[in-house]
Amino acid sequence: MTGAHGGGIAHADLRELYQEVIFDHNRKPRNFHPMPEADHVADGHNPLCGDQLTVYLRLEDGRVADVSFVGHGCAISKASASLMTEAVKGHPVDEVEALFRDFHALLTEQAPERDFGKLQVLAGVREFPARVKCATLAWHTLHNALSGARETAKTE
């Protein structure tokens, strides 16, 4: 954010942030429904943004058998939640937790060596520190749901 031009080549950065995948998942979020048969549920809320979501999980033999979410927020938070549900469905819980750690690092620190698949589109958030919390809210909420934490997840 420093420097004579205050943020450098903003337009390339902006396109990195708002890729077509983000708009697609914002308009048509996947796994976007409540899940009455869920065995793990957690709420996430960023009071400053007003972003609010609930993540539902059904676990089977240490795997995420099903996952869904409901809520409202900006395009980044909604698309991130939608992409997350696709990325974790069917995967073992320990893999999901490892993916959360790596994904968080992708947005905030050194990008870890791994194939992030579609989640890679969110890497552009790195150039917009104020928006990292939008992209990570769903993941923190998922983490709370997995660990049975009862408090509402927050990323701000």
Partner 1 sequence: MSAVIQHAEAAGLEAHAADFPILARPVRGRRLVYLDNGATTQKPGQVIEAERTFYRESNANIHRGVHWLSQHATDLYELARERVRGLLNAAHADEIVFTRGTTEAINLVAQSWARANLKPGDEIVLTSMEHHSNIVPWQLVCEQTGAVLKVVPITDAGELEPGAYESLLGERTRLVALVHVSNALGTVNPVREMVERAHAVGAVVLVDGAQAVAHQPVDVQALGCDFYAFSGHKLYGPTGTGALYGRRELLAAMPPWQGGGDMIRTVAFEGSTWADPPQRFEAGTPNIAGAVGLAAAIDYVRGIGLERIAAHEAALLAHATDALQAVPGVQLIGTAAVKAGIVSFMVDGIHPHDLGTILDSEGVAIRAGHHCAMPVMTRFGIPGTARASFALYNGERDVAALVDAIAKAQRMFGTRSDA
List of residues contacting partner 1 (CB under 8 A): 4-11, 13-14, 17-18, 23, 47-52, 72-76, 128, 130-131, 134
Looking at beta carbons only, is 10 or 149 nearer to partner 1? 10
Question: Could you tell me which of 41, 42, 44 has the C-alpha nearest to residue 153?
Answer: 44
Find the DSSP H helices in the chain.
Answer: 10-17, 20-27, 75-88, 93-108, 132-147
Nearest approach in angstroms of CB 75 to partner 1 is: 5
Q: What's the rounded Cα separation, in Å, for the pair 108 and 26?
A: 22
In angstroms, the CA 56 to CA 31 distance is 10
The nearer residue to partner 1, 13 or 95, going by C-beta atoms, is 13
Q: How many residues does the chain have?
A: 156
Smallest separation (angstroms) from partner 1 to the CB of 32: 16
CB of 5 to partner 1, least distance (A): 5
CB of 16 to partner 1, least distance (A): 11
CA–CA distance, 5 with 9 (Å, rounded to integer)? 9
Query: Which of 50, 62 has the CB closer to partner 1?
Result: 50
C-beta of 102 vs 156, nearer to partner 1: 156
